[in-house]
Chains A and B, each alone.
Chain A
Amino acid sequence: MGAFRAWCRKELREQRRTLLLGLVVVALGTAVPFVAFPDATAPRDLHPFPGYAVALVGVVVGSRLFARDLGAAHALVLRTPGALRAALPAKLLVLGLACALALGVEEAVRHGLSAMTGVPDPYARLGPAQRFVVGLWPAETRVPRLTAPIELYGVPMPIASVLAALVATTWSVLGSVLSHRVPGALTGGLLLATAAAPFLVMHGLEPGWFAFPATTSVPAIVGVAGFALVLATIAWRWGRVSLHATRRTALRVALVGAPFVVAASVGTASAIDTWRTPDPSWPDLCVENADLGTGESRLYLTVSRGCSSWSRAEEFGTERRLPAQAWIVRVEDGALRDARVGVFVRVPGTSDEWFAPTPWTARSPNEQRWTVLADDQLHWIRGGDDEATYVARHGTRNAETVAAARGVARAFAPVRLPDGRRVYGVFGGVEREGDEAPSPVHPGALVSGSAHVLADGAFRVFRDGRRYEVLRVQVDAEGVTEARALAEPESDDGGSETVWLSATEVLWRSWPAGADLAALPPWERVRLRSASAGAGAVEQRVPQPDLIDVEVAKPGTLLLHRRGADGRRTLRLWDLATDAERAVDAETSLLDGFVEVRAHGRAAEDAVVLEFRPCALGIECASSLALLTISTGRIERLTPPGRYRPVALEASGAFLVIEDGRRVVRFARGGTRREVVFPRR
């Protein structure tokens, strides 16, 4: 038996009771919220649990592992040839094994109890890399990046990391001094290295994760990691030759390591402060996204310093940015405040419909704004007083949040019954307004965050993160009476578009992963599928030999982007009901790039036409906006050529756009007047 195996055997034998006890505590602790508070447990509450599990077992087992032999307190180890050399890797292996077991037990218990109790498992759809990396930290790091600031017990993560380093160092030094031994210092160093490792990994995977500017993040991380390394090395080196490490040894270790921590802490803290204050005057401020609240009194902005968006990289010269912030700006005077929710994200299914009749563009007495924090969570800001409420969208909420979640779902439901009541998907099922209870006919495991009401009762449903189905959901006064698949489930790796055209037809476009859309034969790209037929029905392919692209101008009417025999591009409207096709205004021939159409929220006869042009990294950027009046086929330019991203169409007819990724600009109808709404000078 080799020395390494002998040490592994010894450590496993010595730690088995502690490890077993730790695993039992992890299992019991994980079970507590499911068993004791099933009605008050949200997925968000479960996010820290893997971190807790690793921390508990890691610290308990780790401190026992490293505090005994490696500090040279044990003469038998020192006088056994080669024992110290083999001890470190064996101890690290056992520590890793213990942590892995803790994660495994936590995962198994959480998964099992989630299945038993119905409380959703927040990690069910995350990939292994995400689970592993973020699982080391008891924080909100499992929430996708574009969400709330990462916090640890209410402390922003970058500050928390510094605090953690300081606490670990203090603990290490105090432990060393008090015990007159090196083990404390060594354990502290190893813990510090452990603490730094997830940051290094996450930083490598996601450079924008930290609130460290590029110029200071490297020194900060190198400082923390370097300190851990130096601490461990010194402790190790001196521990080898000194049976009784003295107070002087411990202090020496602390003194050598302290400058690293100080440098890391000061650099990090100063870097954090620069971006935590909402200030629109930063020269590299990037407006990533903007929405106009109902009532048109507030702008909901997602901003950052530096842009990560490819389309903005051209203007900012970098794809690197600091974590985004969510600002609420008063349109009237430009006053702003940090909403402290990370970013504003549109509810899935509406993200492309800039001018759809959503609550923030339609007038409503309850002005409100939502931000999706995770699949099952919304952050709800009431427009009237900007009061923020977290709403979890699954079935084990309290009455208030359940009502709030229903309110959200109702607001997003354009489907109405003949008596005027709305139909919407919520809590994994389908409900009718005024009859808030799950339907007896369940369309399957709707993932409520991804279920998308397309039109009259048709739901596009993501079964999991990678596949989706389109279901025809028949709703009447009795509730959901039928849920039928309209197509075979498809992988989400490719692309698709589904638009309900009439009571019996759905337009279904799909393409495989990685396909060059422009290179596909046009007849592959426009299909009509009978909604009355089930999955696998033969599709009617519509020949469109000169078709460049197709968009839906409004339900039942397609906007065809054609290339004429003379090479000129034209836009034509095709009424599917009458099969009549007519040309749009001749001005469209001026459009020289990709054209995209979005339904106009207020006037069914209007559509917004976006003209795109090639920009950085081979992608298309919006270069102008126009309004297409479908009834007349006329196009009216709304902006001069530039770099735009549409925000909203105001009641006055003026357009709000993000210009150059730096400001929000209002164009009066006709493009005659331009006014900067944000930032105000």
Chain B
Amino acid sequence: MNPTATVEVERLAYAWGRRRVLDGVTFSLAPGTTTVLLGENGAGKTTLLRLLAGLLRPAGGTVRVLGLDPVHARDRVNQRLGLVPDAPDAWGWMRPRDLHRFLAAHHPRWDDARAEALLARLRVPSDRSFRQMSRGEATKAMLAATLGHDPEVLLLDEPFGGLDPLAHDDVLGAVVDALATAPRTVLVATHDLDVATRLGDRVLVLADGRVLRDLAMDEASSPGSAGSRREALRSTFAAAVRPG
């Protein structure tokens, strides 16, 4: 175990029914780093993030977030952790402000001004309910809501999927700002390799239920003969999940 790690995962296992999705995942995240989680569809990225947030109980192995077991100390972990889900899951009738009011009642460190400023910066329409928002608008609203309590650990589950280019840039900008304003440990599950190379300090490649690659971004995306960092990262990813 690494006592200085913000997130520490050892031999983590989880199964959906008979299908073993994660089987011996081991890695750790150092404080203040941004790690990109790559993996094919169905590799278990979302499952891993939910396990880190304490939403699922591991079938085996251990998870420590901020030194705590996220299952047994889920409330304490989630006071300092934020998760932006792959699909916005706020109640459909809520407007962003309703969601903020609800979250403010539960998060001791909630900062309403920060959340409102983020909403404005991301140009989220405040008079629309989540049901009436587009996918991009809802994702931006969820990001603002997640950053409202200034989490030390930020988990982003495919936050850029399905966004138009402008919304994509808005979200990316907000994440970058969030990283700049406070030291955060971030784990981003994404298929967007451009984003990965721009945000990440490290890359984890998840396949066959395990972490097959754990590389520094510079190492994973070294241009070499591939021509660009993006292409280099793609080659690294492909080599990991489809060897030969």
Q: Which residues of A contact B (CB under 8 A)?
A: 1-3, 5-6, 9-10, 13-14, 74-76, 78-83, 86, 240-244, 246
Contact = CB atoms under 8 A, between A and B. Distances in A.
Contact of B106 (A6, A240, A243): A6
Q: Which 7 A-B pairs have the closest CB atoms?
A: A6-B105, A81-B75, A241-B57, A243-B55, A1-B105, A81-B79, A76-B89
13 contacts: A1-B104, A3-B106, A6-B105, A14-B93, A75-B85, A76-B91, A78-B55, A79-B74, A79-B83, A81-B78, A241-B56, A244-B56, A246-B17
Contacts of A240: 74
A74 B106 contact: no
Contact of A83 (B85, B89, B91, B106): B106
Interface string B87-106: 00111010000000111111
A14 B16 CA distance: 32
A480 to B, nearest CB: 64
Contacts of A80: 78, 102-103, 106-107
A540 B90 CA distance: 82
A74 B89 contact: yes
Contacts of A241: 54, 56-57, 71, 74
Given A6-B105, A76-B90, A81-B106, 19 more contacts: A1-B105, A3-B106, A5-B105, A6-B101, A9-B102, A10-B91, A13-B93, A14-B91, A75-B50, A75-B83, A78-B54, A79-B54, A80-B106, A80-B107, A81-B76, A81-B78, A82-B75, A86-B106, A241-B74
A5 B85 CA distance: 26
A520 to B, nearest CB: 66
B102 to A, nearest CB: 5
A90 to B, nearest CB: 11
Secondary structure call for the A interface: helix
A82 B55 contact: no
A1 B17 CA distance: 41
Interface string B36-78: 0000000000000010011111000000000000010011101
A246 B105 CA distance: 31
Contacts of B104: 1
B98 to A, nearest CB: 8
Contacts of B79: 81
A235 to B, nearest CB: 15
B50 A243 contact: yes
Interface in B6-21: 16-17
Nearest to B71: A241
A110 to B, nearest CB: 33
A240 B78 CA distance: 14
Contacts of A14: 91, 93
Contacts of B102: 6, 9-10, 80
Contacts of A5: 105
A79 B55 contact: yes
A248 to B, nearest CB: 9
Contacts of A79: 53-55, 74, 78, 81, 83
A637 B101 CA distance: 86
Nearest to B76: A81
A78 B93 contact: no
A340 to B, nearest CB: 52
A1 B101 contact: yes
Nearest to A69: B91
B13 to A, nearest CB: 15
Contacts of A244: 16, 56
Contacts of B56: 241-244
Instruction: Among B76, B78, B102, find the residue whose CB has the most chain A CB atoms closer than 10 A.
Output: B102
A242 B17 CA distance: 13
Contacts of B89: 74-76
Contacts of B103: 80
A641 B78 CA distance: 83
Nearest to A13: B93
Contacts of A246: 17
B64 to A, nearest CB: 17
Given A3-B105, A82-B106, A75 B75 contact: no
A242 B83 contact: no
Contacts of A75: 50, 55, 83, 85, 89
Contacts of B17: 246
Nearest to A6: B105
Contacts of B71: 241
Instruction: Among A5, A75, A86, find the residue whose CB has the most chain B CB atoms closer than 10 A.
Output: A75
Contacts of B57: 241-242
Nearest to B74: A78
A677 B55 CA distance: 75
A74 B103 CA distance: 14
B15 to A, nearest CB: 10
A648 to B, nearest CB: 71
A348 B104 CA distance: 64
Contacts of A242: 56-57
A9 B55 CA distance: 25
B53 A2 contact: no
Nearest to A73: B89
A5 B55 CA distance: 24
Contacts of B76: 81
Nearest to A74: B89
A79 B85 CA distance: 11
Contacts of B90: 76
Contacts of B83: 75, 79
A20 to B, nearest CB: 15
A358 to B, nearest CB: 67
B109 to A, nearest CB: 10
Instruction: Among A2, A78, A242, find the residue whose CB has the most chain B CB atoms closer than 10 A.
Output: A78
Contacts of A76: 85, 89-91
A74 B85 CA distance: 11
Nearest to B82: A79
A617 B81 CA distance: 70
A678 B102 CA distance: 72
A519 B56 CA distance: 77
A2 B89 CA distance: 22
Nearest to B142: A76
A14 to B, nearest CB: 7
A2 B108 CA distance: 11
Nearest to B50: A243
A226 to B, nearest CB: 27
Contacts of B105: 1-3, 5-6
B8 to A, nearest CB: 19
A3 B106 CA distance: 6
